[in-house]
Structure 1
Amino acid sequence: MAMAMAMPMEVEMEMERGSAEICSGGSSSALLAPSVSDGGVAAQWSEMLPEALARIFAVLPLEERMRSVPVVCKAWRKAAMDPTCWRVVDLHEWSRLMPWEVIHRMVQLVVERSGGGLEELSVCRLANDEPVDYIAKRGHGLKVLRIPFCQVTDGCIANIAPSLSRITHLDISGCTAISKTALAQIGRSCKSLARLDRNMSFFFQTNNLVAEEYDDEALAIAAHMPLLRHLELCYGSLTNSGLAAILDKCKSLDFLDLRGCMNLTIDGAMAERCRKIRVIYNIKFNDQFQMLDLYDDMSDVHYSDDGWDIEEWYSSSDEIDDVLPCEMW
């Protein structure tokens, strides 16, 4: 079955890099690059080496990798299953539109496809600890994990943190079920962590904490994450005391986002300290409902008839029952 697909610029660049590397051994037939004449002669993509195809497919949008590539021909389908295609997976926008059961099933699918080689994963709205545990236990090579607005708990973090020792960037923004306990465990286990995103919402900041807890998370970060270079605490509850602790202990910090932190008063000596690094903090509120749009405002999420779902991607596949069991977790 033939299918015409436009090549994005990233694909063309990756194809050139793959050609140079694969052909470096001296074999002139190692990679058959597409040659399209003015008359529109179809490129013989199916004759490429599987590893070359896999590298090209890896830079395609996720929907194309899942939905279009596997149905072109057997060679493409085989290449699309290669773990190389699944080292970096961004499900963030897609997961905003899907029921949590489908999101969980997709997470298991991409983790399995990666064959343990997953390096970067972005997904939101996971409804419990199970998919997060699944990711961590099978993704020992993870370097970037973005799981904002997920219902992950302190207990889950305690279990998985040792498996995330290679993490350099962690996003747990909006994860309201975790506390200073989880942050301390992350700091103790993830020694390579250079960036932490812990952005919250205006309503959580004001409705879920008492004054004695305002600096708990900031103090945990200061005590256990001294090597952080990038820290986001938008709508955090920290006060000047918590900020001072972070500035004292996190000596490598060069970026700090404090937008919406209404318990801070940054002037005088504190303002002078903040000038030494890049700090964003001067957001003014007109009323209590004015909110910074950190994640395109999750309140406007709606289900769309035009959304692409996981079942539809595999409607022509004989493996749908094996890959996507109804009872995954």
Structure 2
Amino acid sequence: MELEEPPSCGRDWSELQRDVLVLIFLKLGTMQVLTTAGSVCRTWRKVAKEEPELWRRIDITNLAYDCDCYALKDLTKLAIDRSGGRLEEFSVEKIGDDDLLRYLCDRTSTLKKLCLISCYQLSEEAIVETGERQPLLEEIHITFAPFSETLTEIVGKQCPQLKSFKLNTSWHGKGTTYLSDEEEDNDDALGIAKNMHQLHHLQLIGNRLTNEGLKAILDGCPYLETLDIRHCYNVNMDPDMRPRCAKLKTIRLPNDSLDDVDNISDDYEETYSDYPFVDNISDDYEETYSDYPFVDDDEDGFEF
């Protein structure tokens, strides 16, 4: 007996309602919406380009960097443009520099969260300018950055409404310590204590603060609820320090595991092999997105 082939569902994915598409796109990463999803067909591209809700949170992190970083920076600017001045959260890894932050500030003043990871080309002056131009900033997360001891003082003065602050300036990999336990430095801690009085959440992984610096933070930040001092080996949770930390809802101690820390592991889940077109983008970018036909072309993309 010859089996009949099952009938095709014949579904036209381009006819999905706009609100359904928005819900789907919100579950995708920024790069996936900006490129892959936005290239499927004219309907999907229109939603990807014209729905500001998709661009209130831009996350360009946890991507392997084996492609043209200039092209990635240009795509990040395009995502900023699509936010329509309503960007609230911006996270970037490696490609963040003064130019990108100024581009961001020129196009929005509604930022509430800024996350910078391994942005070695970024200056403290750009951080100051961003604080001045983003009056709604409540969260700043900085990991692996070559800033001076005055950074916490600068950030605290420029962002008086700061509720969450992360400064992971030194990394201790699993089984490896890159700082000597004898190196003590409370400059970061004192800057926080003197200028971040509204803090609710603080993370200082790998910092060189001592008990003196931690006491200053606990005294100067009366609203502090969570504290993460993993790999801060100069802190000794002695009988005097433990009662001081008892008011906190959550505390992560120096010897606690780092397995749950984001944006640190080299085992990236996403790589640029998912975005083969990035390597083919011209370096001759002149403030126009005409070099990105897969993003802005009005012709239909793939057909279902």
Q: TM-score, normalised by structure 1?
A: 0.71
**Partner Cα distance (1:322, 1:98) in 2:** 15
**Partner Cα distance (2:277, 2:111) in 1:** 24
Question: Do structure 1's residue 311 and structure 2's residue 278 form an aligned pair?
Answer: yes
One-letter code aligned to 1:219:
L
Equivalent of 1:148, from 117, 125, 139? 117
Report the alpha carbon displacement of residue 283 of structure 1 after superposing the two structures with TM: 0.7
Question: Do structure 1's residue 198 and structure 2's residue 173 form an aligned pair?
Answer: no
Q: How much identity, in percent, do the aligned residues show? A: 28
Report the alpha carbon displacement of residue 168 of structure 1 after superposing the two structures with TM: 1.9
Equivalent of 2:132, from 147, 162, 176? 162
Question: Do structure 1's residue 240 and structure 2's residue 240 form an aligned pair?
Answer: no
Partner of 2:47: 79
Partner of 1:258: 229
Could you tell me which runs of 5 or more consecutive residues in structure 1 were left unpaired when the two chains were aligned: 1-37, 285-290, 325-329
One-letter code aligned to 1:164:
Q
Which structure has more helix as a fraction of its residues?
A: 1
Q: How does 1:50-61 map to 2 (within 5 A)?
A: 53-54=21-22, 56-61=24-29
Could you tell me which runs of 5 or more consecutive residues in structure 2 were left unpaired when the two chains were aligned: 1-6, 283-287, 295-304
Question: What SS does the corresponding residue of 2:125 show, helix, strand or coil?
Answer: helix
**Partner Cα distance (1:240, 1:279) in 2:** 15
Report the alpha carbon displacement of residue 41 of structure 1 after superposing the two structures with TM: 4.1
Partner of 1:183: 152
**Mapped contact 1:92–1:122 kept (Cα < 8 A):** yes
Say what the alpha-carbon RMSD is for the aligned residues: 3.5
Equivalent of 2:240, from 269, 285, 296? 269
Report the alpha carbon displacement of residue 307 of structure 1 after superposing the two structures with TM: 4.2
Q: How does 1:27-42 map to 2 (within 5 A)?
A: 40-42=9-11
**Mapped contact 1:58–1:85 kept (Cα < 8 A):** yes
Partner of 1:125: 94
Report the alpha carbon displacement of residue 309 of structure 1 after superposing the two structures with TM: 4.9
Question: What SS does the corresponding residue of 1:135 show, helix, strand or coil?
Answer: helix
Aligned pair count? 274
**Mapped contact 1:218–1:242 kept (Cα < 8 A):** yes
Partner of 2:255: 283
Report the alpha carbon displacement of residue 97 of structure 1 after superposing the two structures with TM: 5.0
**Partner Cα distance (1:314, 1:215) in 2:** 46
Change in Cα spacing, 1:299 to 1:314, as seen in structure 2 (3 Å) is closer
Q: TM-score, normalised by structure 2?
A: 0.76
